[in-house]
Structure 1
Amino acid sequence: MAPRNSLKFFSLLISSFAIVQMTMAGDPDILTDFVVPPNLSASKITGSFFTYTALRTIAAATTFNVTKVSMSEFPALNGQSVSYAVLQYPAGTTNPPHVHPRSAELLFLFHGSLEVGFVDTTNKLYTQTLQAGDIFVFPKGLVHFQYNADPKVFAFAVSAFGSANAGTSSLPKALFATDIDDDALAISFKTDVATIQKLKAGLASKP
């Protein structure tokens, strides 16, 4: 192999390794024990900085509700690649299909029962009925949902994420509560514009 071709080959190989490493990475690694917010001095940080107390006053919800504990709510999580969400499902409510682009989700059901599932990239659906004490994992970036099918019993769960900011994109909102062209949606869903407009109107109305 000619020297010039060898150089190109090794450059391509090194670039490939770099791309693989980037795709494997989650949150960026930090070079300190923790990230000090710009408005704080490291000398003034105490144990309270690493303590989140807002869940002490969490109240029972009358509609499906998610209380996030990510780096936005709890700055000490910045750089730690972890976060939580507390999920409340009154009887007959659902967490609509959505994705977390930056993390898998590990859901622990404390109370009640849930129908859960996700769809893989071959469009295969995996579902399970969870009982209190069960744990279910939703792989990173895949469409998933939870549904409390019980007409009477409240369900309560906590989800853990391998990112300080897992991100959430709700499919109903992303598709029908944005400015995507009605004709494009009608063609995509093999329906008519009037149906698309009804879906948009339903999402725009208050519950």
Structure 2
Amino acid sequence: MSSKVSIMAKNELVVALVLSLSLFGFTSAGDPDILTDFVVPPNVNISNIDGNFFTFTGMRSILGSNPPTAFTVTKASAKEFPALEGQSVSFAVLQFPASSVNPPHTHPRGSELLFLIYGSLQVGFVDTTNKLFTQTLQAGDMFIFPKGLVHFQYNFNQTDSAVAVSAFGSASAGLVSVPVAVFETNIDDGILAKSFNTNVTTIQALKAGLAPPPTKP
């Protein structure tokens, strides 16, 4: 499995990056227009701007690397790549070990166009009428997650990994994880128990399950 992913990373991922970049025009519409060619952070002297400012090297470590042991996202948003500020685009590489999931979440400021380049994924989103739309993707398939809607991705394969790339219609699409927002933000246990029509003991058990295991001394 590792050798197959390495070959994919050196060849197909490069093609995927180029293709996803070409899709930015389709997804860009989330950020306000800017009145300059590009935006330079206040701490950068504009007279010193060169090609390095417009270059992001944070994806290099993915190429040829061994697959991760947990679901991993490598992002190129305005936070990691300041040249994206004002450009209404950002990018991410999603690596899914066997049987891993990207839990339900939303991107409040941008749509997401996912391109699966290796493996298979079950994906889906829920619209504002609470209708669920799902699909099983194979390598080469694309799926659009509309802006602000709850969605997920799941690698149901028990033995093989999956890799996808996503283009976002915002330089800072944002991320709201549903499990974290509900159970890890100090909302009162009584309120959650009433909201989910259960009891406080169940809510506390769910919270305990989400908490990371204690570190060994």
Residue aligning to 2:61: 57
Match of 2:42 among 38, 41, 49: 38
Matched, 1:173 2:180: yes
> Cα distance, 1:26 vs. partner?
2.4
Alpha-carbon distance in structure 2 between the residues aligned to 1:85 and 1:72 = 12
Matched, 1:101 2:143: no
Q: Secondary structure at the residue paired with 2:59?
A: helix
> Cα distance, 1:81 vs. partner?
0.5
Alpha-carbon distance in structure 1 between the residues aligned to 2:118 and 2:61 = 19
Query: Which is bigger in relative contact order (C-alpha 8 A, separation at least 6)?
Result: 2
Alpha-carbon distance in structure 2 between the residues aligned to 1:110 and 1:31 = 36
TM-score, normalisation: structure 2: 0.82
Q: Secondary structure at the residue paired with 2:206?
A: helix
Maintained 8 Å contact 2:58/2:76: no
> Cα distance, 1:205 vs. partner?
2.2
Residue aligning to 1:88: 95
Alpha-carbon distance in structure 2 between the residues aligned to 1:153 and 1:56 = 22
Question: How much identity, in percent, do the aligned residues show?
Answer: 69
Maintained 8 Å contact 2:125/2:134: yes
Aligned residues: 183
Q: Secondary structure at the residue paired with 1:54?
A: coil
AA partner of residue 124 (structure 1): K
Alpha-carbon distance in structure 2 between the residues aligned to 1:55 and 1:84 = 10
What RMSD in Å do the two structures reach over aligned CA positions?
Answer: 1.2
TM-score, normalisation: structure 1: 0.86
Residue aligning to 2:74: 67
Higher-Rg member (1/2): 1
> Cα distance, 1:178 vs. partner?
1.2
Residue aligning to 1:14: none
- Measured against aligned partners, the alpha-carbon deviations of 1:105-160 in whole angstroms (never above 9, x if no partner) come to 00000100000000011110000000000000000100100000000110000110
State which drifts further: 52-61 or 85-94.
Answer: 52-61
Match of 1:139 among 143, 146, 156: 146
- Measured against aligned partners, the alpha-carbon deviations of 1:63-96 in whole angstroms (never above 9, x if no partner) come to 0111111000000000100000110100000000
AA partner of residue 212 (structure 2): S
> Cα distance, 1:38 vs. partner?
1.1
Residue aligning to 1:152: 159
Alpha-carbon distance in structure 1 between the residues aligned to 2:44 and 2:152 = 39
State which drifts further: 196-205 or 86-95.
Answer: 196-205
Alpha-carbon distance in structure 1 between the residues aligned to 2:40 and 2:172 = 17
Alpha-carbon distance in structure 2 between the residues aligned to 1:162 and 1:124 = 23
Alpha-carbon distance in structure 2 between the residues aligned to 1:54 and 1:46 = 18
Alpha-carbon distance in structure 2 between the residues aligned to 1:174 and 1:79 = 27
